Structure 1
Amino acid sequence: MSMDTKNTEQNSEIKRKRYKRFALFVAAFLILGCTETKYANNIISAQAHSGRTDAQGGHRDNKNKSGLGSYHYHHGYAAHLHPGGVCPYSNNSSSEVTTRQNDATETKAAPVLKADDYKLIFDTAFYFTNNPDLQTTLGNDEQKLLEHFVNNGMAEGRKACSTFDVKIYKDNNSDLAELYGDDLKKYYEHYMNCGYKEDRIHN
């Protein structure tokens, strides 16, 4: 075998390896850009979106691809908000359980809710007193009342304290109405994360 033939074969092998590495890189990029995760019998589709992380660990989501508004956090978890300025994943003890899904991916369970995280929009005594339908079913149990408010009451637009009314907040902030429509829970979350500091009309 001549030296020229040997060099040609070596160059061809190098080019093949480079092409293979490039193809793997492109495939990995495409997979990360749009992943699909099976959860029970349903399929949840999660799409990546751009946005650099700022000093607080969150980032802008101006097109609201996450459905959480124009700003949210990740830092190792699914996109989420920080009610009252506190990360709901900060207490990752026994209340946070890791479950393995059908496709071998792991998802962390929702953390235990804390009343202090919702102090801007929730008061146990007020919620109990002003929602008589819950008095017989939940009693004056702070944790159960809070869980009801977060899981149901917010979506229903229930007033949970004397200082915040979600209907007034929605009616007086048309820029949010364009973003959130009739998803009342988003208005509560926006007030806790941004609206309170911006001194928006809320009551």
Structure 2
Amino acid sequence: METAKNRHGLTVLAGPTAVGKGTVSTYIRDHYPHVRLSISATTRAPRPGEEDGVHYFFVTPGRFDELVASGQMLEWAVVHGKNRYGTLRSTVEQAVSDGKAVLLEIDLQGARQVREQMPEANFVFLAPPSWEEMVGRLVGRGTETTDEQQRRLETAKLELAAESEFDHTVINDNVPRAAAELVSLMGLTPTTHP
């Protein structure tokens, strides 16, 4: 296994839609309390069970524009041609300067922006075990319309082609195993979780 690029700094996790980035991140939040997850801001509506300030900062398009215009976003992007997502610069920079291991779960566009601004970060691509598995996950979660699912699958094809831009690849074939591998790539000991 490759060693992590940095220890106790920023790790960027990206991958195609429906690969399970949110599931792996939630598992890490619940089982690895020494990892700080960065919470993204988004203009999309909450999905069932999502809470403001826990899963995302849900903001209006106008407020999002203000954050971008004032330089408060480390990265931001329009995802699937519809909603905007972004990361508040201050929360990431403060946690890293405090010596925390920070995990930033974002899309490919955002990962590219972070690489421009923080090239020292550790970039990890979360990949599905297969295309068929990823399609099954997207359709199975039932949170998007058929048109939205098709749009996301078209985006996923482009996202999968970007794997070589990342420092490491983790296959999400089993959430606890993938989470442990990711935590190890962050320079932490995965066995310290409860």
TM-score range normalised by the length of the shorter chain:
under 0.3
Q: Larger % of strand: which?
A: 2
TM-score by length of 2: 0.25
TM-score by length of 1: 0.24
